[in-house]
């Protein structure tokens, strides 16, 4: 039986039993099922949306359903402005928006480095997407009607949509996001799980889900996250540690990387490792590997490691350009355009790209399954592109501008506007991720294509304005990122979500 026939039969049954209380006729005319085929879309970690078995919900005429309706009416009467504020917070669109913002805040406050930040964003957003697909599979398998369709007193001012209520998608997302985030931020696990309980309960307090809907959703979401953790996070290579004593693969000599600030020793506890030297080896999501998109060597690379004079002569013009950029940045007020661009792209590029993406999803009112699909693909691309950039960084070990400007005697006291990161210069991670994600965003939001590509360019230019990268770092990063974007777009074209229904 397809979902349309099932809806007609269920509605007829309810009408015959007198259980559709005061629902306006217009509600059914204006409402339609939301992405009824999303449960069949291609997943990332789950074998399919059906992999995790969810038991059937309580029967429509069961004593449990009647008791849950009674609870909903009671909670409706108890709603206070404080409870309404909680309901409104977790009722954000798309439903995973508060969780993405929470993760971005944790990345900032916990000082997570860029490769780990992008790895974590991909893990959480993939867990959310796979959980949404699993929820949609069971929603349209059981097709439990929403409580506010059964009892109009729960939501008298709004015509309820005709999407099934079991399991609650908000609770499923809360379970998946909180469980994945607790794995990444174990010191925050209790707070995250409390937030998940609050998010799920808010749907009961709002009168749009039964308690059994949220219990099933939390259970399903956590089970999905557990599989993402065991199948992916625990086996992606991110726990490997670079040997700071033998320093495998490191290139030294004129033009090659060395720390620009203390500690200059690379071995803990007194020293500090470069930023994630092995991130280029981590398991990718879509591209074959980080090495598959290794950038060509930087210009004049055959001179690196030879004579200081030759390397300084090679880099003199690029160094002068960076010095001019930094001087212009420092000459303008703090809120000037250069400083504003630097501030916009400060930190992990995934922070800014996720905020841009959320803004467009909200603006265009993209429905939840499609929003989760876009977010998972964007964050998988952020991770893969960073891994590719890091593969190039630790293949070529190129020095940062601050090092060469000082060593070549152009300005012995030169410092970048933003602290120079503790990793090699070539290629720019911001530019590589921007090149990939800018194209993906242009695909999903074609009327904003020029703006998305301009954002990618702006992220790269910000690294010139602050003096942390060479122009060839930025140009190569953008080119590599854009060259891999087609693989992500191809996945989107074949993930089962086309055409929109």
Q: What is the DSSP string of 167-203?
A: S-HHHHHHHHHHHHHHHH-GGGHHHHHHHHHHHHHHH
Mean pLDDT of all residues in the chain? 92
Give helix 97-109 / helix 189-205 axis angle, nearest 10°.
160
Q: What is the pLDDT of residue 1?
A: 39
In this prediction, residues 102-119 reach a mean pLDDT of 98
Are residues 381 and 102 in contact, defined by beta-carbon separation less than 8 angstroms? no
Are residues 174 and 199 in contact, defined by beta-carbon separation less than 8 angstroms? yes
Give helix 189-205 / helix 81-90 axis angle, nearest 10°.
110
pLDDT band (50, 70, 90) for residue 498: confident
Does residue 452 have a pLDDT over 90? yes
Does residue 288 have a pLDDT over 70? yes
Least confident of 31-35, 129-133, 257-261, 363-367: 31-35
Does residue 377 have a pLDDT over 50? yes
pLDDT digits (tens, 9 = 90+) for 172-206: 999 999 999 999 999 999 999 999 999 999 999 99
Are residues 481 and 436 in contact, defined by beta-carbon separation less than 8 angstroms? yes
pLDDT band (50, 70, 90) for residue 221: very high
The DSSP 8-state label assigned to residue 294 in this structure reads: P
In this prediction, residues 29-56 reach a mean pLDDT of 86
Q: What is the pLDDT of residue 34?
A: 81
CA dihedral over 209, 215, 217, 221, signed as positive or negative: positive
The model's pTM is 0.92
Least confident of 149-163, 235-249, 298-312, 453-467: 149-163
Least confident of 97-101, 159-163, 256-260: 159-163
Q: How far is residue 76's CA from residue 219's CA, in Å, rounded to a whole number? A: 25
In this prediction, residues 434-439 reach a mean pLDDT of 98
Neighbours of 41 (CB within 10 A): 23
pLDDT band (50, 70, 90) for residue 138: very high
Q: What is the pLDDT of residue 60?
A: 87
Percent of the chain with pLDDT over 70: 90
Domains and CATH numbers, the chain: 3-46+75-235 (1.10.606.20), 279-493 (1.10.606.20)
> Which has the closest alpha carbon to 472: 396, 386, 416?
396
In this prediction, residues 11-38 reach a mean pLDDT of 46
> Which has the closest alpha carbon to 220: 285, 133, 143?
133
> Token pair of 165, please?
């209520």
Q: What is the pLDDT of residue 12?
A: 41
Bridge partner list, 398? 256
Does residue 21 have a pLDDT over 80? no
Q: How far is residue 182's CA from residue 177's CA, in Å, rounded to a whole number? A: 8
In this prediction, residues 5-18 reach a mean pLDDT of 41
């Amino acid at each position: 039986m397809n979902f349309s026939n099932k809806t007609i039969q269920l509605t007829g049954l309810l009408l015959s039993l007198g259980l559709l209380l005061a629902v306006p006729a217009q509600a059914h005319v204006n409402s339609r099922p939301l992405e009824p085929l999303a449960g069949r879309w291609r997943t990332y970690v789950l074998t399919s949306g059906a992999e995790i078995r969810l038991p059937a919900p309580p029967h429509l005429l069961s004593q449990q359903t009647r008791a849950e309706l009674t609870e909903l009416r009671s909670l409706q009467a108890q709603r206070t402005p404080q409870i309404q504020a909680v309901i409104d917070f977790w009722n954000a669109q798309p439903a995973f928006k508060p969780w993405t913002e929470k993760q971005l805040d944790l990345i900032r406050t916990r000082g997570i480095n860029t490769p780990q930040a992008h790895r974590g964003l991909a893990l959480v957003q993939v867990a959310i997407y796979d959980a949404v697909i699993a929820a949609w599979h069971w929603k349209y398998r059981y097709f439990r009607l929403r409580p506010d369709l059964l009892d109009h007193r729960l939501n008298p001012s709004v015509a309820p949509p005709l999407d099934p209520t079991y399991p609650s998608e908000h609770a499923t997302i809360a379970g998946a996001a909180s469980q994945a985030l607790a794995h990444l931020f174990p010191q925050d696990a209790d707070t995250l799980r409390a937030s998940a309980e609050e998010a799920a309960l808010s749907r009961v307090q709002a009168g749009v889900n039964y308690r059994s809907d949220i219990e099933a959703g939390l259970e399903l979401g956590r089970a999905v996250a557990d599989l993402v953790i065991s199948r992916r996070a625990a086996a992606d290579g991110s726990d490997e540690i670079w040997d700071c004593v033998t320093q495998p693969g490191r290139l030294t000599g004129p033009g090659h990387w060395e720390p620009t600030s203390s500690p200059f020793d690379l071995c803990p506890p007194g020293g500090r490792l470069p930023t994630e030297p092995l991130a280029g080896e981590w398991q990718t999501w879509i591209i074959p590997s980080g090495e598959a998109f290794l950038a060509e060597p930087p210009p004049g690379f055959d001179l690196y490691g030879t004579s200081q004079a030759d390397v300084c002569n090679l880099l003199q013009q690029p160094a002068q350009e960076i010095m001019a950029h930094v001087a212009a940045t420092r000459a303008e007020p703090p809120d000037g355009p250069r400083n504003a661009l630097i501030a916009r792209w400060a930190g992990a590029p995934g922070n800014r790209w996720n905020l841009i993406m959320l803004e467009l999803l909200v603006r265009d009112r993209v429905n939840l399954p499609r929003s989760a699909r876009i977010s998972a693909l964007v964050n998988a691309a952020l991770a893969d592109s960073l891994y590719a950039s890091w593969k190039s960084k630790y293949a070529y070990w190129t020095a940062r501008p601050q090092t060469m400007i000082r060593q070549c005697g152009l300005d012995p006291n030169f410092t970048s506007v933003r602290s120079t990161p503790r990793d090699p210069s070539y290629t720019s991670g911001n530019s590589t991720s921007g090149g990939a994600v800018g194209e993906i965003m242009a695909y999903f939001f074609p009327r904003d294509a020029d703006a998305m590509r301009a954002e990618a360019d702006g992220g790269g230019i910000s690294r010139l304005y602050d003096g942390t990268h060479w122009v060839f770092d930025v140009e190569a990063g953008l080119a590599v990122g854009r060259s891999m974007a087609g693989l992500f777009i191809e996945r989107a074209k074949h993930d089962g979500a086309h055409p929109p229904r």
